[in-house]
Amino acid sequence: MVVSDDEVTLKVENLRAFYTSKKGLVRAVNNISFEIRKGESIGLFGESGAGKTSVALAIIGMFEQISRHFASTASNEESRKLWALKDDARKKGLAFNEMKEELPGVSGHIWFKGRDLATLDEKEYRKIRGNEITYVPQGTTKSLNPYSDIEEQSSEVLWAHDEDNELKEWQVMKRVLQTLDLVELGDVDIRKEMKPSQFSVGEDQRVLIAMALVSLPDLMIADEPTTAVDIGLQNRILDAIQIVRDELELSMLLISNNQGTMAKTCDRIGVMTAGHIVEFGDTQRVLNSPGHPFTRAFIMSNPSMEQIRKIREKGLRIRGIPGMPPDLSEAISGCPFSERCEYAQDICRERIPEYREVDEGYWILCHRYEELPAW
């Protein structure tokens, strides 16, 4: 299917994002490409440490800031050296592809409404972040201010971006009430005056989603929106996300290691391990007939009831992924899953596979995809 540029909200091309550590570069995001169409919901699904949050931080222009901050508090010489080299290259005006060695930070392209965000400076980014692109971070509720009511906190988001003083008080209030209403918090006239401590964890999460919507963004990114809540609350949060999707027709990037969350909220998903997207396609296809050995192993390690039935029918066992994910501070020469893959052959350890579109709209990163047994 050919999609024209004006139907695409965000296009990420060959995105890399490298942290530093005392062992050198930490290659958290490696050559990732995907796009989010208008009104579409894309998921990043994968194991812990795969690089999902790092992709989100790169998109909202916070990756380098956070990475430098951690490097400075850890005070290790190697990190300092790498960031100094990066500063030096930047002073010389070198583009990433002109640098002689791999350096920390973000490279690649992040196209958003015709502009490449990867080239913006912090001042330009601030106009977009929290306004046209909003982010509900992982570990959520700590980002709410416990001392101010939610109406005040939500309005601040709008006032902060009203540089030309165009907004009227009644417009702000109306927008705040509309978005709080959308995430179904009960009687918003009463609840808007409450402070975060007066809400449950699941409600706090929905308040954060409402706050991320109040500016009517083009793209909302929600990072693990349902962790640390019980199944009932999970469903209410996911319902709120679905309502928002249908009502506002905004584009979304949802991050989770929970396949139920992906299945319920996403049109298409990318499966991540070791800084790579290894499989990308229609959510139902990827979850019901995964083609990549990592996706299969990841689903087998935590299957849904329906999948448990299928696994038993085939006489297989539910089991975790053997071994440990690769250390991202060591350069990987072959397939990022080769150390743990039951189908690995020499070629897998020697060469990184190409990211191939093996069916329309269905992408895979595996040398041996065509030879694997059917799922």
- Say whether residue 352 binds ligand SF4 (CB under 6 A): no
Residue 160 beta carbon to ligand SF4: minimum distance, rounded to whole angstroms: 45
Site stretch for ligand SF4 (CB under 6 A), options 57-65, 131-139, 240-248, 339-347: 339-347
Nearer Cβ to ligand SF4 (209/277): 277
Distance of alpha carbon 57 from alpha carbon 49, whole angstroms: 14
- Say whether residue 21 binds ligand ATP (CB under 6 A): yes
Nearer Cβ to ligand SF4 (127/351): 351
Residue ranges in 47-66 that form contacts with Mg ion under rule CB under 5 A:
53
Residue 205 beta carbon to ligand ATP: minimum distance, rounded to whole angstroms: 16
Q: What are φ and ψ of residue 229, in 5° steps?
A: -130, 155
208 touches, from ligand ATP, ligand SF4, Mg ion, none (C-beta below 5 to 8 Å by class): none
Q: Which of 333, 327, 329, 326 is nearest to 23 (CA)?
A: 329
- Say whether residue 257 binds Mg ion (CB under 5 A): no
Residue 358 beta carbon to ligand SF4: minimum distance, rounded to whole angstroms: 12
- Say whether residue 188 binds ligand SF4 (CB under 6 A): no
CA distances from 352 to 183, 298, 357 (A): 43, 20, 16
Distance of alpha carbon 298 from alpha carbon 279, whole angstroms: 12
- Say whether residue 140 binds ligand SF4 (CB under 6 A): no
Determine contact, residues 252/267, Cβ cutoff 8 Å. no
Determine contact, residues 301/317, Cβ cutoff 8 Å. no
Other Cβ atoms less than 10 A from the Cβ of 323: the count is: 10
Nearer Cβ to ligand SF4 (240/271): 271
348 touches, from ligand SF4, ligand ATP, Mg ion, none (C-beta below 5 to 8 Å by class): ligand SF4
- Say whether residue 26 binds ligand ATP (CB under 6 A): yes
- Say whether residue 261 binds Mg ion (CB under 5 A): no
Residue 301 beta carbon to ligand SF4: minimum distance, rounded to whole angstroms: 16
Tell me which of 53, 261, 283, 295 binds ligand ATP, using CB under 6 A: 53
- Say whether residue 341 binds ligand SF4 (CB under 6 A): yes
Site stretch for ligand SF4 (CB under 6 A), options 40-48, 160-168, 206-214, 333-341: 333-341
Residue 236 beta carbon to Mg ion: minimum distance, rounded to whole angstroms: 22
- Say whether residue 199 binds ligand ATP (CB under 6 A): no
CA distances from 35 to 17, 253, 361 (A): 17, 10, 11
Q: Which residues bind ligand ATP (CB under 6 A)?
A: 19, 21, 26, 28, 48-54, 66-67, 70, 138, 257, 328
Could you list the residues that contact ligand SF4 (CB under 6 A)?
293, 335, 337-338, 341, 343-344, 348, 353, 366-368
